Amino acid sequence: MVIPGYEDDPLAVSEEWLALPGFWPAHLLWLAEGEDVDPEPGWFGADGADTEEAYGTLTDPAAWPVLRLPLQRGHTILILYRNFPEDCGIDYYLTHPSWDRPRSLGSIDGHFAGPGLAWRELVHIAQNPGTGPGVTALHARLLLLLPVLGDEALPPDAVKVVESALAAIGAPPQTRTVLAEALLDHPFWEAPPWYFHEPDASPLSGGNATPRPSRVLRCTGNWSPRTGGFGLSLDQDIRLAEALGTVS
């Protein structure tokens, strides 16, 4: 696999690693940590040894895992473990064959960027996989994308939705609620509002064309890569809004 910006790096398509016994705590344990919460692998239904082994696999500098989540309208989300020996992190990208480059949804590292998804987008993506290769199971898609979620307007059933996904991976009943609540309380950023950008109907440039509104959400978070638009054409913008479930 070749991703622009990573041409010389040892990328390896790795969806099969979701089956590792300790994969889910290796991917998500940090997200649940907080001042009053100290999660353990057992909360995910895994043990410590399996989690350590899975974490070692995911962070191996010799092979950088890439997980693909196919979306509707030909889009794909790529989750890339950036395994420099002294600078590990996870990069989330949104791609499409017609785009000139991937667009960032967030980075999980010491210089983090995010959030990259609103709740309504996350749920739509989880429930509506595309036809391309990669992860298609609803529960796995939702849990894989939780690290780039950030939304002030979580619905009342958000915890129940995450609980259901945790049940599907074998998390024990006694830990699901507290774990779901912790996973929704991101340790890197506050949950910001999202909005649709509505440009001024009177162009200041003096041109005749009226600026068009985008149906792709923007984020108010200071560290989000989605504070502005993606710089897409009209057709590309519409296709992306359909893939993210925000066409109205």
pLDDT per residue rounded down to tens, the chain (248 residues)? 789 889 999 999 999 999 999 999 999 999 999 888 899 999 999 999 999 999 999 999 999 999 999 999 999 999 999 999 888 999 999 999 999 999 999 999 988 999 999 999 999 999 999 999 999 999 999 999 999 999 999 999 999 999 999 999 999 999 999 999 999 999 999 999 999 988 765 555 444 444 578 899 999 999 999 999 999 999 999 999 999 999 86
Report the 10 Å Cβ neighbour count for 200.
8
State the Cα–Cα distance between residues 59 and 177, nearest whole angstrom.
Answer: 29
Whole-number CA gyration radius for the chain: 18
pLDDT, position 199: 75
Backbone angle region of 217, left / alpha / beta, with phi > 0 → left and psi within -120 to 50 → alpha: beta
State the Cα–Cα distance between residues 109 and 22, nearest whole angstrom.
Answer: 21
pLDDT, position 159: 98
Structure tokens at 61: 């500098």
pLDDT, position 29: 97
Distances (CA, A) of 118 to 36, 44, 145: 25, 24, 11
Name residue 11's beta-bridge partners. Answer: 64
- Report yes or no on whether pTM surpasses 0.85: yes
pLDDT, position 1: 75
- Closest Cα partner for 122 from 102, 151, 152? 151
- Domain ranges for the chain, please list them: 11-191
Angle at 103 between CA 14 and CA 145, to 5 degrees: 50
> What residue type is assigned to position 94 of the chain?
L
Helix orientation angle between 138-145 and 119-127, rounded to the nearest 10 degrees: 150
Chain centroid to CA 212: 27
